[in-house]
């Protein structure tokens, strides 16, 4: 029995290493069929026989996540899991905790922090929009003020962010994101967008 399990492990490992993955871009979940198309057939068949659940979608989701963790452990440098990367990016955006990402990455449950930085840098520096403005579009902007409760007024920070809303959803263009191997510095990111500031002096109050 032991030699049979070892032989099975060697067969699955060889099958995983012979797969070809494109690491030059981040594919969309639709292109990878929610990540299932990136799994070798042998590994998918094995996990579906081990992991069993009455709910078909839950079973498929669990098998896909476990398979991505196994492939990432076998090929840490030549495989980028969209599932593990999505977990790391979510934690980075939601909690801004590098320690939590490092802990989950060491356990094989998410991608590492460096790959998360590359993903965010690729999103910011990418000049090709993922939306099509030929359809009905609406831009929504809002501002954020930090440390405004000061006596003198200086040392405050004011930021403006915006999104583009496009409808219908079926006309939006989803494309792969080129992977930026070099993490952009803070100075480079600051130079992407510049606004000309002006000061208003001696303004008159409106009646």
Q: What is the mean pLDDT of each run of 10 residues along the chain (207 residues)?
A: 89 93 88 90 92 87 94 93 94 92 95 93 77 78 75 72 79 76 75 58 53
Q: 100 and 14 share a domain?
A: yes
Contacts of 19 (CB under 8 A, 6+ apart): 38, 40, 71
The confidence score (pLDDT) of residue 137 equals: 82
The confidence score (pLDDT) of residue 97 equals: 92
Q: Which pairing describes strands 25-26 and 177-178: parallel, antiparallel, or unpaired?
A: antiparallel
Q: 106 and 42 share a domain?
A: yes
Residue 94, domain member (yes or no): yes
- The dihedrals phi and psi of 88, each to the nearest 5 degrees, come to -65, -40
Residue 24 three-state SS: coil
The confidence score (pLDDT) of residue 135 equals: 75
Q: 93 and 159 share a domain?
A: no
Residue 74 lies in domain? 2-125
The confidence score (pLDDT) of residue 197 equals: 55
């Amino acid at each position: 029995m032991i030699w049979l399990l070892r032989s099975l492990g060697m067969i699955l490992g060889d099958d995983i290493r012979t797969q070809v993955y494109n690491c030059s871009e981040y594919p969309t979940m639709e292109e990878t069929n929610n990540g299932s198309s990136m799994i070798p057939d042998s590994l998918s068949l094995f996990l579906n026989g081990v992991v069993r659940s009455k709910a078909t979608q839950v079973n498929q989701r669990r098998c896909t996540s476990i398979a991505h963790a196994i492939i990432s452990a076998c090929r840490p440098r030549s495989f980028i899991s969209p599932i593990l990367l999505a977990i790391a990016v979510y934690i980075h955006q939601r909690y801004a905790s590098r320690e939590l990402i490092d802990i989950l990455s060491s356990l094989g449950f998410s991608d590492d922090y460096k790959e998360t930085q590359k993903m965010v840098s690729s999103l910011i520096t990418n000049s090709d929009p993922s939306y099509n403005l030929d359809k009905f579009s609406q831009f929504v902007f809002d501002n954020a003020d930090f440390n405004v409760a000061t006596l003198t007024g200086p040392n405050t920070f004011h930021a403006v962010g915006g999104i583009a809303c496009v409808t219908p959803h079926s006309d939006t263009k989803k494309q792969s994101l080129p992977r930026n191997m070099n993490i952009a510095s803070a100075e480079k990111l600051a130079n992407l967008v510049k606004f000309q500031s002006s000061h208003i002096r001696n303004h008159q109050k409106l009646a």
